[in-house]
């Protein structure tokens, strides 16, 4: 019994170590790639940064030269990247080249907006997608199943920016129910969350339907019904839990899609989040802000997948049982 109870701790440790090493690798890779991309962008970075500070009308060659000397942009690229990595090891994200504010403070503000949007979008995706998937799985080939198939095909065919524009035209321009751009308050969150959530819900519905149909046809579910268990208990204890073993890891995969959609949707609706900050950092050549924003987005994916791994360990009893037998 003691050996069986100690197994989850070992598996938990392996998951945390693996994801921790992945986070370190992601941090190094994202920092290097972002720096390389900014170095390859056309135009004078010092001039663009000066324009972000003072405005294009007040920028000349002298102002650009002053910014270049102040920020050390004339140093070799490897020295600039080395300084950033050294600061990163010390948990210092530096200061914005445009606003001169600490990057960590600006990221804290934008991160709050992104987490609010991502959480709302996931709720929409799970409620709509999983709900349709479960209903469709009850009667494969039925009316709800055919409707779900058509719904999935429709939302998968629409890129996020086009889906967002259609929702703006319908709910804002035509019906006047919601603001078209971010204006603060809960109502401003609805359109961006619907755009992201509806886009994700199609694939969630497909995976949920397949998982529920497969589990419902399994031997263990038929045996549970043979024992005379109530259908509600069969669905909750056997079908839902075992289907979740397939569905939950898939939600972790969708974290990458969610991050990609955040960049597009936040820009479309002027939502103050990491995607919005990333676009502006690229435009103004704000290298510290760009690297830190991309780093946080990448680490969010790692964090979500870590949570998914831990939930998967809790949901799936089979590895524990095998370890206990040994």
If asked whether residues 76 and 125 sit together in one domain, one would say no
What pLDDT digit, counting tens, does each position of 87-105 carry?
777 777 878 877 878 888 8
Provide the pLDDT for residue 325.
Answer: 36
Tell me whether residue 24 is in a domain: yes
Q: Is 316 helix (H, G, I), strand (E, B) or coil?
A: coil
What's the DSSP call for residue 173?
I
If asked whether residues 220 and 181 sit together in one domain, one would say yes
Q: Alpha helix (H) ranges present in 241-317?
A: 241-269, 274-283, 287-315
Provide the pLDDT for residue 1.
Answer: 37
If asked whether residues 154 and 85 sit together in one domain, one would say no
Decide if 113 contacts 271 (C-beta within 8 A): yes
Q: Give CA–CA dist 162/206, Å, rounded.
A: 22
If asked whether residues 83 and 126 sit together in one domain, one would say no
Tell me whether residue 308 is in a domain: no
Question: Residue 113 maps to which CATH number?
Answer: 1.10.3720.10
Tell me whether residue 51 is in a domain: yes
If asked whether residues 173 and 242 sit together in one domain, one would say yes
Decide if 156 contacts 204 (C-beta within 8 A): no
Tokens encoding 210: 């397949």
What's the DSSP call for residue 237?
I
Tokens encoding 287: 């290298």
Decide if 88 contacts 27 (C-beta within 8 A): yes
Q: Give CA–CA dist 326/315, Å, rounded.
A: 20
Helical pair 103-125 and 241-269, crossing angle rounded to 10 deg? 130
Mean pLDDT of the chain: 78
Provide the pLDDT for residue 137.
Answer: 86
Q: Give CA–CA dist 93/81, Å, rounded.
A: 12
If asked whether residues 108 and 191 sit together in one domain, one would say yes
Q: Could you write out the three-class secondary structure of 17-73? A: HHHHHHHHHHHHHHHHHHHHHHHHCCCCHHHHHHHHHHCHHHCCHHHHHHHHHHHCC
Tell me whether residue 235 is in a domain: yes
Provide the pLDDT for residue 128.
Answer: 92
Tell me whether residue 174 is in a domain: yes
Q: How many domains does the chain have?
A: 2
What pLDDT digit, counting tens, does each position of 65-91 carry?
777 776 666 677 777 777 777 877 777
Tell me whether residue 122 is in a domain: yes
Provide the pLDDT for residue 5.
Answer: 36
If asked whether residues 77 and 130 sit together in one domain, one would say no
- Beta-carbon neighbour count of residue 26 at 10 Å? 17
Tell me whether residue 247 is in a domain: yes
If asked whether residues 1 and 16 sit together in one domain, one would say yes
| Cα-Cα-Cα-Cα dihedral sign, residues 275, 276, 279, 282 | negative
Tokens encoding 292: 């830190």
Decide if 180 contacts 172 (C-beta within 8 A): yes
Decide if 308 contacts 251 (C-beta within 8 A): yes
If asked whether residues 187 and 276 sit together in one domain, one would say yes
If asked whether residues 88 and 133 sit together in one domain, one would say no
What pLDDT digit, counting tens, does each position of 255-306 carry?
677 777 788 888 888 888 888 888 888 877 777 888 888 888 888 888 887 8
If asked whether residues 257 and 119 sit together in one domain, one would say yes
Q: Which domain holds residue 234?
A: 104-283
Q: Give CA–CA dist 255/4, Å, rounded.
A: 32
- Beta-carbon neighbour count of residue 15 at 10 Å? 17
Provide the pLDDT for residue 180.
Answer: 76
Q: Give CA–CA dist 116/113, Å, rounded.
A: 5
pLDDT tens digits in sequence order for the chain, 326 residues long? 333 333 356 667 777 777 788 788 888 888 778 777 777 766 667 766 777 776 666 676 777 777 777 666 667 777 777 777 787 777 778 788 778 788 888 889 888 888 888 888 988 998 999 889 888 888 888 898 899 999 989 888 888 888 888 888 888 888 878 877 766 667 888 899 999 999 888 888 988 888 888 887 777 777 777 777 777 777 777 777 777 777 877 777 776 777 777 888 888 888 888 888 888 888 777 778 888 888 888 888 888 878 877 777 776 655 544 344 33
Q: How far is CA 203 from the centre of its chain?
A: 15
- Reference 290, options 300, 304, 275; nearest CA is 275
Provide the pLDDT for residue 174.
Answer: 84
Tell me whether residue 310 is in a domain: no
If asked whether residues 1 and 125 sit together in one domain, one would say no
Q: Is 244 helix (H, G, I), strand (E, B) or coil?
A: helix
């Amino acid at each position: 019994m003691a050996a069986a109870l100690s197994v989850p701790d070992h598996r938990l440790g392996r998951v945390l170590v693996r994801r921790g090493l992945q986070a370190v690798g992601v941090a190094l890779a994202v920092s290097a790639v972002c720096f390389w991309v900014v170095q390859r962008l056309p135009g004078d970075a010092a001039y663009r940064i000066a324009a972000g500070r003072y405005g294009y009308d007040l920028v000349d060659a002298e102002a650009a030269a002053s910014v270049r000397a102040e920020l050390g942009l004339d140093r070799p690229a490897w020295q600039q990247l080395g300084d950033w990595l050294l600061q990163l090891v010390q948990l210092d994200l530096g200061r914005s080249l445009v606003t001169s504010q600490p990057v960590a403070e600006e990221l804290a503000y934008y991160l709050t907006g992104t987490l609010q949007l991502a959480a709302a979008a996931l709720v929409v995706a799970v409620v709509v997608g999983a709900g349709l998937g479960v209903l469709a799985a009850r009667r494969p080939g039925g009316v709800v199943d055919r409707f779900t198939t058509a719904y999935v095909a429709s939302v998968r065919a629409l890129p996020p920016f086009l889906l967002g524009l259609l929702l703006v035209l319908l709910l804002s321009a035509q019906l006047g129910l919601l603001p078209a751009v971010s204006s603060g308050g809960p109502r401003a969150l609805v359109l961006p969350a619907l755009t992201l959530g509806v886009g994700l819900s199609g694939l969630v519905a497909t995976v949920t339907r397949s998982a529920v149909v497969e589990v419902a046809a399994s031997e263990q579910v038929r045996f549970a019904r043979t024992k005379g268990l109530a259908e509600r208990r069969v669905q909750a204890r056997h079908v839902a839990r075992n289907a979740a073993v397939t569905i939950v890891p898939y939600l972790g995969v969708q974290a990458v899609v969610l991050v990609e959609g955040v960049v597009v949707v936040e820009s479309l609706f002027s939502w103050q989040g990491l995607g919005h900050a990333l676009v502006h950092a690229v435009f103004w050549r704000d290298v510290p802000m760009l690297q830190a924003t991309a780093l946080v987005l990448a680490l969010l994916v790692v964090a979500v997948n870590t949570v998914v791994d831990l939930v998967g360990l809790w949901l799936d009893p089979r590895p524990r049982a095998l370890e206990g037998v040994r």
